[in-house]
C-alpha cells in the first residue's frame, strides 16, 4: 500500500485566495482525520470522518475552513479566503478501528501551506 497520500506537498498562495488540500486515505480504512501543525499550537485536530461522514468538526477554526469526503478514497480541506495565519503544515491521517478501540493512525506526508 502506498500509504496516505496528500497533495500538494507545498502550497504558496496570497491572502484572499482559495486553497484546496487533498488526501487519499489507505484503502479499507474507515476513519479520516485532518490536523494542523504549527509551532505555536502544536498538533490540532480539525475534523474527522467515519465512513465518509463528518463526525466532529469542532476543531475547525472558522467558517473559512470546510472539509468534504465524497467517497472512501478522497477528502478535501478547503480554506476560502485564506489568511496569513493559516500558514501551517496540514496533515491527513487515516485509521481502521479494530477490537478494543485499537486506533493506530497513519499519517500522510503533509501539505506545507504558506499564505503571503
Partner 1 sequence: AQSVSQHNHHVILSEAASLELGCNYSYGGTVNLFWYVQYPGQHLQLLLKYFSGDPLVKGIKGFEAEFIKSKFSFNLRKPSVQWSDTAEYFCAVNARGGSYIPTFGRGTSLIVHP
- Decide: is 90 part of the binding site for partner 1 (CB under 8 A): no
Which residues, in sequence order, are bridge partners of residue 94?
Answer: 32, 106
30 within 8 A of 43, measured Cβ to Cβ:
no
- Decide: is 18 part of the binding site for partner 1 (CB under 8 A): no
- Decide: is 116 part of the binding site for partner 1 (CB under 8 A): no
CA 110 to chain CA centroid, Å, is: 8
Q: Which of 43, 84, 85, 116 binds partner 1 (CB under 8 A)?
A: 43
Exposure string (b/e) for 45-69, b if CB count within 10 Å is 16 or more? bbbbbeeeebeeeeebeeeebebeb
- Decide: is 38 part of the binding site for partner 1 (CB under 8 A): no
Task: Select from 13-21, 63-71, 80-88, 103-111 the region that touches partner 1 (CB under 8 A).
Answer: 103-111
**Residues found near partner 1 in the complex (CB under 8 A):** 31, 33, 42-43, 45, 48, 56, 91, 93, 95, 97, 100-105, 107-110
Amino acid at each position: 500500500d502506498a500509504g496516505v497520500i496528500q497533495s500538494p506537498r507545498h502550497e504558496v498562495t496570497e491572502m484572499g485566495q482559495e486553497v484546496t488540500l487533498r488526501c487519499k486515505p489507505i484503502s479499507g480504512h474507515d476513519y479520516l482525520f485532518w490536523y494542523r501543525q504549527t509551532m505555536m499550537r502544536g498538533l490540532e485536530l480539525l475534523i474527522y470522518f467515519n465512513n465518509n461522514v463528518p463526525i466532529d468538526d469542532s476543531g475547525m477554526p472558522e467558517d473559512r475552513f470546510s472539509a468534504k469526503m465524497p467517497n472512501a478514497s478522497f477528502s478535501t480541506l478547503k480554506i476560502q479566503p485564506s489568511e496569513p495565519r493559516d500558514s501551517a503544515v496540514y496533515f491527513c491521517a487515516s485509521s481502521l478501528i479494530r477490537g478494543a478501540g485499537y486506533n493506530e493512525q497513519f499519517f500522510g506526508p503533509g501539505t506545507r501551506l504558506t499564505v503571503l
